[in-house]
Amino acid sequence: MLDVPLARATVLRHAHRREPVRTAPAVGRVLAEDVASDVDSPPFDKALMDGYAVRADDARPGAELRVVEEIAAGAMPSKTLTTNEAARIFTGAPIPGGADAVVMREKTSSPASDRVIVNDSPTAGQFILRRAAEMKVGEIVLPAGTVLTPQAIGVLATVGRAVVEQYPAPTVAVLATGDELVEPDSIPGPGQIRNSNGPMLLAQATAAGAAARYLGIARDTEADLAARIADGLTADILILAGGVSAGDFDLVPKVLKDLGVTPHFHHVKMKPGKPLFFGTKGHTLVFGLPGNPVSSFVGFELFVRPAIRAKAGNAVTGDGIEKMPLAESFLGNNNRPTYHPARIESNGVRGLPWFGSADLRALLDANALLVLPPGEVNYDAGSTVDVLPII
């Protein structure tokens, strides 16, 4: 049986990123090309205040200057300032030749429309942003691999890139399995429960940056499973919940094999979620997560999230585990490495009360999982533990 790091490495070895596409930049996507600026920004020495462009040497408190023109944002100056001249100027407008400072309007008075009295002693360069201070033409401002944040999308606009090479969102298909399941809008009959994994896994996939599609509930028959799985194999990643353990109705591994999916592992040394299947067909990754909701959730966080990120063009490095002090003492008692719902607070991390893999409600307060080694260990408050933050 593989341990988690080896299982994760196996998944990542098969998680090839998608071919880049050339489209309008979309938030969360990863850039697949180096982007250079096609402009100096700002394109000219630019006023950062409304006021008067002046020659700093002329402008001392009480000096009266002749206003030779008015320059609005979007206009170009037509005059070069000479001794004791000023130009009325607005934020964003180009600084006229001869001027080397801007005096803000609040520090002036205007005895006539063509005169200004300065109440300031400006230093040279004051309230001027020099041409190309932000970026130079030809300079690479966004290297390949950059995640397209809103501000990156703003900079792409600055440099004239309405379309860029970027890795598309991986497509993810989610299939719930089980004769006992009904959808959330139904009242469960005797022996039935609601399908919580379907909506949860769709939400996890969407939050991880995938384009997720729901395939419904497959009943525990080979025919129904085969039809829905065949549909799901058109996605970059197919996630199944349930039907992967060793019970009589756990048909998923067999049906996957019949449909040409190559199995890579079927069990992982972890709790919850030991019977976790991973296989591939072509470039499609197939995850069979155990049906207990916390097992599904944890299996997704450990294996599916990194696969989505890798397929989306991110460099996936490290296991995400951080060292943190325990805020309260905690008794660990497990036969396998365990991922226990936890909450990171200002004074450390706290293990949450938890009834095991069927107790999804315990995750409501969780923002992390304690990563505990097997064995009975009594951790004192303040001792350092491994923690996997969850998003």
Q: How far is the CB of 289 from Mg ion (least distance, A)?
A: 11
| Smallest distance, Mg ion to C-beta of residue 253, A | 13
Q: How far is the CB of 10 from ligand AMP (least distance, A)?
A: 21
Count Cα neighbours of 199 within 13 Å in the Cβ-side half-sphere. 8
273 binds ligand AMP (CB under 6 A): no
Tokens coding 29: 């996507």
102, containing H or E segment: strand 101-104
Rounded CA gap, 174 and 240, in Å? 6
Q: Which of 37, 166, 195, 338 binds ligand AMP (CB under 6 A)?
A: 195
- One-letter amino acid at 29 equals R
> Which residue from 152, 210, 239, 241 is in contact with ligand AMP, where contact means CB under 6 A?
241
Instruction: Give min distance, CB of 220 to ligand AMP, in A.
Output: 8
Count of residues in contact with ligand AMP, rule CB under 6 A: 19
Residue 198: name its binding partner from Mg ion, ligand AMP, none (Cβ under 5 to 8 Å by kind): ligand AMP
Which residues 211-270 are close enough to bind Mg ion by CB under 5 A? 242-243
In the complex, least distance from residue 287 CB atom to ligand AMP, rounded to whole angstroms = 13
Q: Considering the rule CB under 6 A, would residue 180 count as an interface residue with ligand AMP?
A: yes
In the complex, what is the shortest distance from the CB of residue 202 to ligand AMP, in angstroms, rounded to a whole number?
Answer: 11
Among 2, 102, 176, 276, binds ligand AMP (CB under 6 A): 176
The only residue of 96, 198, 279, 337 in contact with ligand AMP, by rule CB under 6 A:
198
Q: Which of 25, 42, 51, 178 binds Mg ion (CB under 5 A)?
A: 178
The tokens describing 67, both together, are: 């206003």
> How far is residue 141's CA from residue 219's CA, in Å, rounded to a whole number?
52
Of the ranges 92-100, 116-124, 176-184, 231-239, which one interacts with ligand AMP (CB under 6 A)?
176-184
State the DSSP string of 265-317: ES-EE-BS--S-EEEEETTEEEEEE-SSHHHHHHHIIIIIHHHHHHHTT----
| Residue 288 interacting partner from ligand AMP, Mg ion, none (CB closer than 5 to 8 Å by kind) | none
d(C-alpha 23, C-alpha 390), whole Å? 31
Instruction: From the list Mg ion, ligand AMP, none, pick the one residue 284 interacts with, judged by a Cβ distance below 5 to 8 Å according to partner type.
Output: none
Find the binder of ligand AMP among 193, 203, 223, 230 (CB under 6 A).
193
Complex with ligand AMP: residue 10 or 196, whichever CB lies closer: 196
- Written as one letter, the residue type at 184 is P
User: Does 204 interact with ligand AMP (rule: CB under 6 A)?
Assistant: no
Angstrom distances, CA of residue 83 to CA of 45, 98, 373: 20, 9, 78
Q: Which is nearer to ligand AMP, 25 or 273 (CB)?
A: 273
Task: Select from 91, 121, 196, 314 the one that contacts ligand AMP (CB under 6 A).
Answer: 196
Environment class of 246 (CB within 10 Å of its CB; exposed 0-12, middle 13-18, buried 19+): exposed
Distance of CA 140 to the CA centre of its chain: 22
Measured distance CA(336)–CA(351) in Å, rounded: 17
Q: Of ligand AMP, Mg ion, none, which one does residue 293 interact with (CB within 5 to 8 Å by kind)?
A: ligand AMP
Token pair in block for residue 3: 């341990």
Q: Could you tell me which of 262, 259, 203, 199 has the C-alpha nearest to residue 229?
A: 259
Hey, which residues between 287 and 316 contact ligand AMP (CB under 6 A)? Answer: 290-293
Q: Distance (Å, rounded) from C-alpha 16 to C-alpha 312?
A: 9
Question: Exposed (0-12), middle (13-18) or buried (19+): which is 143, by Cβ within 10 Å?
Answer: exposed
Does residue 312 contact residue 18 with C-beta atoms inside 8 Å? yes
DSSP letters, 198-211, are HHHHHHHHHHTT-E
Shortest Cβ distance from residue 177 to Mg ion (Å)? 6
**Cβ nearer to Mg ion, comparing 279 with 291:** 291
181 sits near ligand AMP (criterion: CB under 6 A): yes
Region of 142-150, 258-266, 287-295, 362-370 interacting with Mg ion (CB under 5 A) = 287-295
Sites of contact with ligand AMP (CB under 6 A): 176, 178, 180-181, 193, 195-198, 241-243, 245, 247, 250, 290-293
Sites of contact with Mg ion (CB under 5 A): 178, 242-243, 291
